[in-house]
Chain A
Amino acid sequence: MKAEGVNAFFGKTQALKGVSLDVPENQVVAVIGPSGCGKSTFLRCLNRMHEVAGGSRVGSILLDGENIDDIDPVNLRRRVGMVFQKPNPFPTMSVFDNVAAGLKLNGTRDRGKLAEVVERSLRQAALWDEVKDSLQKSGVSLSGGQQQRLCIARTLAVDPEVILMDEPASALDPISTAKIEELIFQLKSSYTVVIVTHNMQQAARVSDMTGFFYMGNLIEYDVTKKIFTAPSMKQTEDYVTGRFG
């Protein structure tokens, strides 16, 4: 994906100021910065969820060279899926139905096909072994970490190209967090991932590229190793070393 001169607003309040960055294919891009810096707003711009929250945007965002404003929003959000901070499996549905929901909405009815995709998605989300004997159990009966992986499986089931993650592990315990991070590392072989995190150490562990935002501005965007060993901008240095934010 490619963002060019993106400005985002909530009413008269400008949340993003002229943000331009490239999201390389099959890499993990981390977006870090202090609270209110615009990182979640930027993420939501990438699949036009920002508009759902009542925001507006100026500037272009491209997906495989195509302007996302020219893509049907529903189709865009299938191709650019999202995983949220708080796991949100559909509470009235089973594990199976949670993963199959997107497929069914898109018209898939064949039980065999649904079962095949559900298993593949749950395996990709590293959850299959834990739920294969209880696929009819309610999705909300799973632990927090399992619910989050279920949500990831649900996103994967509709075959996205990009996966957006908004602080996907902040509500989870350390072991579940480690599983999610290892999963992110595995997912990038097949998908492109953009992750917003307030945990700098997590950004360092999982990402290839890191963008540091501050007050709506993209201050620095570079290879993660450079950001965490020798950042170019003093503000970035101050932030990653804990001197502000």
Chain B
Amino acid sequence: MERHFQKELDGLKTSLIKMGSVVEESLSTAIQALFEQDEALAQKVIDSDERINSLEIEIDNGVIDILALKQPVASDLRLIIAVQKINNDLERIGDHAVNIAESALGLVRTPATEPMLELPSMADITKAMLRHALDSFILLDPQLARSVLERDDQIDKLNRAMTKQVIQLVQSDPRIIEGGLDLIRVSRNLERVADLATNIAEEVIFHTQAKVVKHHAEEKENTRKENS
């Protein structure tokens, strides 16, 4: 006899995967709008944010239902907690996609520079991090999740490099300051998306291995054990 509860859990997981797919597309479209200077695509991302917000509420309600009525424990409980947190992270990524789309509109009006410095590299790495984080949830693959964590430092470095380069450009030509600020905003938003993809990967590790790896907790615990 299949547990009715299992169907509810599977349904919630499916909803989250769908949300991930919608958010990935939103991010991808925003980046495309930025590089192709496509106003219509940028507006499409801004208009579709409402759908992401609705999905977030729907999943939140599903989580509350299961927590209140089914009292999940062990791996089921870790799954529900992971779903709740990943849901929130995905909604935030959706917001960052909107920010990138708005900067894309700004850059169409006041172009900054060509090519866009580190942004193409950052975009590729960030999109891959999000894809792999979501895949690690679908496949329940902690190794894939850990590979996402390892790339976060790279994005942080590129973000810092972007800021330096834009400052140098603006210093040499102050007329591009508006475009320069938009470039920094895009860089900052991509860096935040990478952070959120890292969060998703951390939640997958918690769900699959019951290990807390955020804030370097695992490393600190290993150090503590070695010293004791």
* Segment touching B, from A59-67, A104-112, A223-231: A223-231
The reply to whether B70 and A204 form a contact with Cβ atoms under 8 Å apart is yes
User: In the complex, what residues of A have CB within 8 A of residue B69's CB?
Assistant: 204-205, 224-225, 228
**In the complex, A185 has a CB within 8 A of chain B:** yes
CB distance from A167 to the nearest CB of B (A): 18
User: In the complex, what residues of B have CB within 8 A of residue A182's CB?
Assistant: 1, 3-4
User: In the complex, what residues of B have CB within 8 A of residue A185's CB?
Assistant: 4
CB distance from A184 to the nearest CB of B (A): 10
User: In the complex, what residues of B have CB within 8 A of residue A178's CB?
Assistant: 3
The reply to whether A204 and B71 form a contact with Cβ atoms under 8 Å apart is yes
- Which secondary structure characterizes the binding site on chain B? helix
Give how many B residues have a beta carbon under 8 Å from the other chain's beta carbons: 10
The residue in chain A whose Cβ has the minimal distance to the Cβ of B69 is: A204
The reply to whether B1 and A228 form a contact with Cβ atoms under 8 Å apart is no
**In the complex, A120 has a CB within 8 A of chain B:** no
Q: How far is the CA of A189 from the CA of B64 in the complex (A)?
A: 25
Tell me which of B5, B65, B69 has the highest count of chain A C-beta atoms within 10 A of its own C-beta.
B69
The reply to whether A201 and B71 form a contact with Cβ atoms under 8 Å apart is yes
The reply to whether B70 and A205 form a contact with Cβ atoms under 8 Å apart is yes
The reply to whether B68 and A228 form a contact with Cβ atoms under 8 Å apart is yes
Q: Size range of the interface on A?
A: 10 to 19
Of the candidates A126, A179, A201, A225, which one forms a contact with B65 in the assembled complex, judged by CB atoms under 8 Å apart?
A225
User: In the complex, what residues of A have CB within 8 A of residue B70's CB?
Assistant: 204-205
The reply to whether A225 and B68 form a contact with Cβ atoms under 8 Å apart is yes
The reply to whether B1 and A229 form a contact with Cβ atoms under 8 Å apart is no
Q: How far is the CA of A225 from the CA of B8 in the complex (A)?
A: 15
Q: How far is the CA of A229 from the CA of B4 in the complex (A)?
A: 20
Q: How far is the CA of A224 from the CA of B70 in the complex (A)?
A: 12
Complex interface residues of chain A between 156 and 178 (CB less than 8 A to chain B): 178
Complex interface residues of chain B between 58 and 84 (CB less than 8 A to chain A): 64-65, 68-71
The residue in chain A whose Cβ has the minimal distance to the Cβ of B4 is: A185
The reply to whether B1 and A179 form a contact with Cβ atoms under 8 Å apart is yes
Complex interface residues of chain A between 129 and 184 (CB less than 8 A to chain B): 178-179, 182-183
Q: How far is the CA of A96 from the CA of B4 in the complex (A)?
A: 29
Q: How far is the CA of A228 from the CA of B66 in the complex (A)?
A: 11
The residue in chain B whose Cβ has the minimal distance to the Cβ of A200 is: B71
CB distance from A64 to the nearest CB of B (A): 28
The reply to whether B68 and A229 form a contact with Cβ atoms under 8 Å apart is yes
Q: Mark B1-14, 1 if CB is under 8 A from A, else 0.
A: 10111000000000
User: In the complex, what residues of B have CB within 8 A of residue A225's CB?
Assistant: 65, 68-69
Q: How far is the CA of A183 from the CA of B64 in the complex (A)?
A: 24
User: In the complex, what residues of A have CB within 8 A of residue B68's CB?
Assistant: 204, 225, 228-229
Q: How far is the CA of A229 from the CA of B68 in the complex (A)?
A: 6
The residue in chain B whose Cβ has the minimal distance to the Cβ of A203 is: B69
User: In the complex, what residues of B have CB within 8 A of residue A228's CB?
Assistant: 68-69
User: In the complex, what residues of B have CB within 8 A of residue A224's CB?
Assistant: 69
Q: How far is the CA of A229 from the CA of B60 in the complex (A)?
A: 13
Q: How far is the CA of A204 from the CA of B69 in the complex (A)?
A: 5
Q: How far is the CA of A186 from the CA of B2 in the complex (A)?
A: 11
CB distance from A119 to the nearest CB of B (A): 17
Query: Given A225-B65, A229-B64, A126–B71 Cβ distance below 8 Å?
Result: no
The residue in chain B whose Cβ has the minimal distance to the Cβ of A224 is: B69
Complex interface residues of chain A between 58 and 80 (CB less than 8 A to chain B): none
CB distance from A27 to the nearest CB of B (A): 15
Q: Tell me the B residues contacting A by CB distance below 8 Å.
A: 1, 3-5, 64-65, 68-71
Q: Tell me the A residues contacting B by CB distance below 8 Å.
A: 126, 178-179, 182-183, 185-186, 201, 204-205, 224-225, 228-229
Task: List 6 A-B residue pairs with CB atoms under 8 Å apart, sorted by A's residue number.
Answer: A126-B1, A182-B3, A183-B1, A204-B68, A205-B69, A229-B68
Other than the given A182-B1, A201-B71, 9 more pairs (CB < 8 A) read A182-B3, A183-B1, A204-B68, A204-B71, A205-B69, A205-B70, A224-B69, A225-B69, A229-B68
